[in-house]
Structure formats: structure tokens, C-alpha cells
Chains A and B, each alone.
Chain A
Amino acid sequence: MNLRKIGAVLALSILLAPAHAQVEIQWWHSMTGANNTGVNELAARFNASQKEYRVVPVFKGSYPESMTAAIAAFRAGNPPHILQVFEVGTATMMAAKGAIVPVAKVMADAKEPFDPKSYLPTVTGYYSDSKGNMLSYPFNSSTVVFYVNKDAFKKAGLDGEKAPRTWKEFVAAAERLKASGQECVYTTGWPAWTHIENFSAWHNVAIGTKQNGMSGTDTQFTINSPLHVRQVAMLGDLAKSGLFTYSGRRNEAEARFASGECAMLTSSTGAQGTFGRTAKFAWSVNFIPYHDDVKGAPQNSVIGGASLWVMAKKPAADYKGVAKFFSFLSQPEIQMYWHTSTGYVPITMAAYELTKKSGFYEKNPGHELAVKQLTNKPPTENSRGLRFGNYVQGREVIEEEMEAVFAGRKDPKAAMDDAVRRGNEILRRFEAANK
């Protein structure tokens, strides 16, 4: 390379450099498909709205993968500014006091307006400490809903417009569907999230002591209660009589509903986008069924999804940019964009009202139903959310035991007792490690 060329390159790079240095905000996330497009769009809109900061979204793999990557980066002394963490990682993040900066503090330090009360109560509760301080910024929240294939109902001589409301009605409908030749009657995504976590909140029973772990790490699982055993036993019986087909621990079940193979499904609200595009039949979104002999049911469902955590060890000045970005994300128009383009629930009341006014729900009633289910009643200690340490492993243990029941290899009571015993061992490890 001769001198002239070097000169040209230098001149060019000076020309291309921004007029003043921007502060880069690294945002690690796990969003794919339409949700990934949404994340990039949010960052682009923020970057266009001001000049001081530039948010750089980086896809870091699945939820556990990006969390592991962030842990490794933190140990190496260079974490991202913002990290998207799924709900089961909440307890781990919360316990890592030196690794994170509470969102409430980030906002207060930057003097950005921030009102936790503007969020849906189930959302605020999930991500706040026992004193009510919001520790992470709620971003993408979903919940479990009940999907029904209306065409299959009609074929079985059932009213497609009337989805079963209780588990009793559910079983009756399931038998009719089976009799009409429906091979896979019912399946579920996320078995523990659906049939333990949301089931407990929906029936106002505790998943664990200490307000589901919210008020202390010395919590214990209580999912071997008669009601929990009854639910797991019911699913086991349904599996045995061919009314329930197990599909796996994640969202494998959704594809079986979308293809028309299974007529009923409980899974995330986030599946609506896919169903809207691929399902070749009429379907509806409904409240999760409940046991009508349980007092107080239905209560409200709990959220899943992820929130944004602010990591420590970054230059002090950067946090102002993070706060500005969160303020930007809190605007109802931005929230509405995210809600309507992804299927995640709107997380502020203002965004919900705005979406309602826009007429979006008339065309997409399923999107509104999730909000109604989450806010069905003011949340109780049992339905505010849950916070169990090492819950990635804890959920795994619960699902293993549930699978043993579904396969007919284990008695439901024994399985749930084992889930509690093994789950508690994991909780004790977490407690000891985070003393």
C-alpha cells in the first residue's frame, strides 16, 4: 500500500467518523424471528430519536445461552449494559447483588421519571423485591392461554364458540372429540409453567413457602398439595385414556396444534402469531380451565417471558443512556408497537388502553384475553409470581416427575413428593451459595 492510499483511507475514516463520540449501549437478547425484528426496530427508533447514545442489540442465543454468556463476560470483567433474562433466571439475577444495578436505582440516578405503578400488577410483582423496588425492566411478558380448534369442535358436535371453562367441561369435551375420531385431543406446551406455576396462581394455591420464594431464599416447594396431586393425576388419567398427548417440555406442542393434529392446547400467548399465519382452521383463545370446586378460582395467571437487567461494572456515565432507553421503551406508542407485532402482552396500563382505542383487539381478541386473564383479580401472595433459586434445574426436576406420571410409571402423589424433595435440595444449594 503506498502513501497516497493510506492518506485516502485516513481521510475517509475521518469523514465517516461521527461528529461527536456516541456512547454505545450493549443489549444482549434472545429474540428470534418476528421478535428479533422487533428488537432491532426498537433500537433503531431509539437511536434515531437522539444523538448521544447508540443502543446495539446483539443476539446471544437462547435464554440460558445468553445468560451463561453474560455470566462469563461478567466474570471476565466486561458484561453488556443490558441483558435480557428469562423469568426462571430472575432469582439468580436478584441474588447477584454485585453484578446488577436495580432498575429503580438506574432511573433515579439519571433523574428519569419511572413509576412502577403504571405497569400491570402481575408484572411489577414478578420483578420487584419484597420492599417493592423494581429490580429489572419488564420487557417481553407472556402467559399461558387455552387454544381451541373450533372446526374440530364442530365436527365433534360441540359448540365451537363455547370453549370449556372448567376442567370438568374440558374432560366432557375431550371425550366427545375422541369419539369423533380426533386422534390427538389435547396437548400442552411448557408443562411445569402451565400445570404447576399457572395452575397454582389460577387456583390461588402456593407453589412454595415464603410467598412462592418472593420473600426469602429459605423457601420450600409445596407442590405436593392435594390440589396439585389431583391435577397431575388428572393429566395422567387423561394420558392413559388417550385424551392427552404429551409433546415435550418446551413449545413442541404448538406445532401439533397449528397443524390440526391436536384439537386443544395450553401454551404461551406468544404462539398466536404463528397460528395466525399457519393454522388452516378456525381457532380461539380462551381462559385456562379451572376446577370449579376450588374456592376463589379462577384467580389470575402469572407471566412468563423475560425482563431486562442492567449489569454492574460499566462506566458511570453509560447508565444515563440506559435510563434514557428505558424511558423510551416505556412510552405507550412504543409498548403498543411491541405488543401488537409480537404477541407479548402490553405491560403498562396506558399501552393497553391505547391498543384498545386503536381497535386492534376487535380483530385480535386473543391479544386482549391474555391481559384480562393476567388482571382477572388483584394478585394474591400465591399469584403474584414466583422466585426460586436455580429454578432452571428446579423446573427440570418437576417436569421429570410429571413425565413419569404421564408415562404411567409413577404414582402421582409419589411423583410430586419426589419433585418437592428433589426441588428443595436444589433450593438449599442455592440458599447456601447465596448466603
Chain B
Amino acid sequence: MEKRVVFRSTWLPYALVAPQIAVTIVFFFWPAVQAGWYSFQLQDAFGERTQFVGLANFAALLGDANYLHSFRITAVFSVLVAGTGIAISLLLAAMADRVIRGALAYRTLLIWPYAVAPAVAGVLWLFLFAPSVGIITFALRSIGVHWDWVLQGDQAMLLVVIAAAWKQISYNFLFFLAGLQSIPRPLIEAAAIDGAGPGRRFWTIVFPLLSPTAFFLLVVNIVYAFFDTFGVIDATTQGGPAGATQILVYKVYYDGVKGADLGGSSAQSVILMAIVIALTVVQFRYVERKVQY
């Protein structure tokens, strides 16, 4: 039997979704189209002279070895951020799920970092890891590690990955915890009676049942690493040293806002848009098939 509510009116459904569509058009489609249009132009900073240059902006970008390097950086960065973020939060959620006493306090504390703005998170870690005054720097020095991310690209990358992943762990944690709590107890208990240890129970029962959540978080985390980590980078390394943490979205900002190069920056955002669309399509078409809902 048809359970859906069917509107008889011809205009009411459209009127009801209109606000949402209007918001989407004004705040998402319009800027996207504008970026697309600007990407074919060469403008001076004040917009006094505008030339149509066709694909010249794209050609310049793709011919620039440093821009191509920035792709690699972004790939490494997003895989690390999404990977560590998901792995650690899954571990924390699995642990939190077992805690009985003080569970609420424990969970609440784990959720806190999500309320911290990316820039603030960046500054926090910046202070902890500051080359001359950071507490962690001192600790590292005492065990003989030369910590100087201002010059060492790998260390700078590590710093931004930690700061970016740390912020996302709370978000992932929430979803995993909800996912874990929705797994029927009898399933796990039955497995336990059959003699499966905690590790085996986790991998054969819990994890497959969590896979929709994990998949959703993978998409969200990749998008987060691509776009939202801008604040973390800006507050800490600003793309340095020598471009070691210059992820694509940061370069878009730098060239467009600080460098006043609207055409080049727009071309970069168009490329970025294409990448994220492609990634999402791939994820939904191929990864989703392997996920059990």
C-alpha cells in the first residue's frame, strides 16, 4: 500500500521547497557559476580591465610544477587526515561504548573539540609545537628529536594533520558511537557465547554493521580535509615551508584574496570543484556497493 503523502496541489510542493532552492542557488550555484566565468578571465585587482583569455588560466596552472605538487600534497594530507581521524575516533567510540561508569562525562569531553573553530585549533597546536617555546617541542628535544617544522616540511605536514584530524575526531566519534549503540546486543552476545573474542567480534560483526557510518564519514572527512582545513593551515604554516603544506584550497585563498589574482584563483576553484565532484561520484558508485546497509 502506498504510504507516502501525495500533494494534490500543483504549486504547493514547489512553494515549500522554494526557500531551500533559493538558498542553494544564491549561496552555492551562483558563486560556482561566477567562479567558472571568472576562470576564463584575466582581471586587474580593482576590476577595471577585464580580458577574456579562454583556457589560459588553466594552461598556466597545469604547466606549473608547483601547482601539480600541490595536488600531491593535498592527496597526502586528505588521506592522512581522514585516515587518522576515522581510525582514532573509531577506537575511542568502541572504548566509550564499553564504559559504564561516568560514560556521559567521558563522551561529553570527547565531543568538546568539535566546538573549537578551525583557526583556534590551529593556534592551539601551533603553541604546543612552536619551535622555540612549545611544550611538546621541549619534550621532543629531551628525547633527542630535532623538532623544527618551520623548515622541515614533513614535520609541518604532521602538525597540520594532527591539528586538522584532532578537530574532526569528535564529529566522527559521535557518529560511530551512535552507530555502535544501534547494533543489536543479542548479535554480539551470541557471538561471545560461540567463543568469539572481542577482536573477532569487532571485525566480523561490529565493523560490517558500522560500514554505512564509516562510509558516510569517509566522504565527509575527505570533503572536510579538502575545504574546511583552510583555517588550520592559515593559522599555522600558511602553506610553508617551501610549499610543503600548500593544499589546493589554501592556494585558492592565497592567490585570490591575498594575491588579488581573481582569474587564477577562480580557475583553481573550478579544478577543485571538479575533483570533489569526481571523488564523490567514485565513492558513491564503487565504495558504496561494498557497503552493507
Physical interaction between A and B: yes
A residues in contact (CB < 8 Å) with B: 64, 67-68, 71, 74-75, 92, 95-99, 184, 239, 246-249, 252, 255-256, 259, 261, 390, 392-393, 396, 399-401, 403-404, 406-407, 409, 422, 425, 429, 432-435
The distance in angstroms between the C-alpha atoms of A122 and B44, with both chains bound, is 28
Q: A396-B254, A425-B60, A429-B60 are known contacts. Are A407 and B153 too (CB-CB below 8 A)?
A: yes
9 sample A-B contacts, Cβ–Cβ < 8 Å, listed by A number: A92-B45, A97-B48, A255-B132, A390-B261, A400-B241, A409-B153, A429-B261, A433-B261, A435-B51
Total cross-chain contacts (CB, 8 A): 99
Cβ-based interface call for B243 (8 A): yes
Of B42, B60, B150, B260, which is within 8 A of A71 by CB? B260
Q: Quick one: closest B residue to A435, CB to CB? A: B49
Q: B260, A407: Cβ atoms under 8 Å? A: no
Q: A96, B46: Cβ atoms under 8 Å? A: yes
Q: B132, A256: Cβ atoms under 8 Å? A: yes
- List B contacts of A435 (CB < 8 A): 49, 51
Q: A75-B47, A98-B46, A429-B60 are known contacts. Are A403 and B132 too (CB-CB below 8 A)?
A: no
Q: B45, A403: Cβ atoms under 8 Å? A: no
Q: A247-B131, A406-B151, A407-B241 are known contacts. Are A71 and B255 too (CB-CB below 8 A)?
A: no
Q: A403-B151, A425-B60, A429-B42 are known contacts. Are A92 and B131 too (CB-CB below 8 A)?
A: no
Q: A68-B260, A261-B132 are known contacts. Are A246 and B150 too (CB-CB below 8 A)?
A: yes
- Minimum CB–CB distance for B135 against chain A, Å: 16
Cβ-based interface call for B259 (8 A): yes
Q: A256-B132, A407-B241 are known contacts. Are A392 and B42 too (CB-CB below 8 A)?
A: no
- List B contacts of A98 (CB < 8 A): 46, 48
B residues in contact (CB < 8 Å) with A: 42-49, 51, 53, 60, 64, 66, 131-133, 148, 150-153, 238, 240-243, 254-255, 257-261, 263-264
- Minimum CB–CB distance for B50 against chain A, Å: 9
- Minimum CB–CB distance for A399 against chain B, Å: 8
The distance in angstroms between the C-alpha atoms of A95 and B48, with both chains bound, is 10
Of B51, B243, B255, B260, which is within 8 A of A400 by CB? B243
Q: A433, B42: Cβ atoms under 8 Å? A: yes
The distance in angstroms between the C-alpha atoms of A261 and B130, with both chains bound, is 14
Q: A403-B241, A433-B44 are known contacts. Are A92 and B260 too (CB-CB below 8 A)?
A: yes
Of listed A96, A259, A390, A433, residue having the most chain B CB within 10 A: A433
Q: B258, A71: Cβ atoms under 8 Å? A: no
Q: B48, A64: Cβ atoms under 8 Å? A: no
Interface SS majority for chain A:
helix
The distance in angstroms between the C-alpha atoms of A252 and B134, with both chains bound, is 14
Q: A433, B259: Cβ atoms under 8 Å? A: no
- List B contacts of A246 (CB < 8 A): 148, 150-151
Q: A432, B42: Cβ atoms under 8 Å? A: yes
- List A contacts of B152 (CB < 8 A): 407
- Minimum CB–CB distance for A257 against chain B, Å: 11
- List B contacts of A422 (CB < 8 A): 64, 66
Q: A68, B242: Cβ atoms under 8 Å? A: no
The distance in angstroms between the C-alpha atoms of A261 and B131, with both chains bound, is 12
The distance in angstroms between the C-alpha atoms of A435 and B44, with both chains bound, is 9
Q: Quick one: closest A residue to B43, CB to CB? A: A433
Of B47, B49, B242, which is within 8 A of A404 by CB? B242
- List B contacts of A95 (CB < 8 A): 44-45
The distance in angstroms between the C-alpha atoms of A97 and B47, with both chains bound, is 11
- List A contacts of B131 (CB < 8 A): 247
- Minimum CB–CB distance for B140 against chain A, Å: 15
Q: A433, B49: Cβ atoms under 8 Å? A: yes
Q: Quick one: closest B residue to A394, CB to CB? A: B259
- Minimum CB–CB distance for A287 against chain B, Å: 27
Of B43, B47, B51, B242, which is within 8 A of A403 by CB? B242
Of listed B53, B64, B238, B257, residue having the most chain A CB within 10 A: B257
The distance in angstroms between the C-alpha atoms of A75 and B259, with both chains bound, is 16
- Minimum CB–CB distance for A236 against chain B, Å: 11
Q: B46, A407: Cβ atoms under 8 Å? A: no
- Complex A-B, nearest 8 residue pairs according to Cβ-Cβ distance, in ascending order: A403-B242, A99-B46, A393-B259, A403-B241, A404-B242, A96-B46, A64-B258, A407-B151
The distance in angstroms between the C-alpha atoms of A246 and B149, with both chains bound, is 10
The distance in angstroms between the C-alpha atoms of A401 and B240, with both chains bound, is 11
- Minimum CB–CB distance for A420 against chain B, Å: 14
- List A contacts of B44 (CB < 8 A): 92, 95-96, 433-434
Q: A96, B48: Cβ atoms under 8 Å? A: yes
The distance in angstroms between the C-alpha atoms of A401 and B43, with both chains bound, is 27
Q: Quick one: closest B residue to A406, CB to CB? A: B151
- Minimum CB–CB distance for B191 against chain A, Å: 52
Q: Quick one: closest A residue to B238, CB to CB? A: A249
Q: Quick one: closest B residue to A68, CB to CB? A: B257
The distance in angstroms between the C-alpha atoms of A67 and B259, with both chains bound, is 10
- List B contacts of A432 (CB < 8 A): 42, 51, 53
- List 4 other contacts, CB 8 Å, given A71-B260, A74-B46: A97-B48, A390-B261, A425-B64, A434-B44
Q: Quick one: closest B residue to A92, CB to CB? A: B45
- List A contacts of B241 (CB < 8 A): 400, 403, 407
- List A contacts of B53 (CB < 8 A): 432
The distance in angstroms between the C-alpha atoms of A247 and B46, with both chains bound, is 34
- List B contacts of A71 (CB < 8 A): 45-47, 260
- List B contacts of A429 (CB < 8 A): 42, 60, 261, 264
Of listed B44, B261, B264, residue having the most chain A CB within 10 A: B44
The distance in angstroms between the C-alpha atoms of A259 and B130, with both chains bound, is 14
Of A184, A256, A390, which is within 8 A of B259 by CB? A390
The distance in angstroms between the C-alpha atoms of A387 and B58, with both chains bound, is 27
Of listed A67, A255, A403, A422, residue having the most chain B CB within 10 A: A403
The distance in angstroms between the C-alpha atoms of A392 and B242, with both chains bound, is 15
- List B contacts of A75 (CB < 8 A): 46-47
Q: Quick one: closest B residue to A75, CB to CB? A: B47
Of A256, A390, A404, which is within 8 A of B260 by CB? A390
The distance in angstroms between the C-alpha atoms of A433 and B52, with both chains bound, is 10
- List B contacts of A249 (CB < 8 A): 238, 240
Q: A71-B45, A75-B47, A95-B44 are known contacts. Are A64 and B257 too (CB-CB below 8 A)?
A: yes
- Minimum CB–CB distance for A162 against chain B, Å: 28
- List B contacts of A259 (CB < 8 A): 132-133
- Minimum CB–CB distance for A313 against chain B, Å: 10
The distance in angstroms between the C-alpha atoms of A392 and B255, with both chains bound, is 9
Q: A407-B151, A407-B152, A429-B60 are known contacts. Are A401 and B242 too (CB-CB below 8 A)?
A: yes
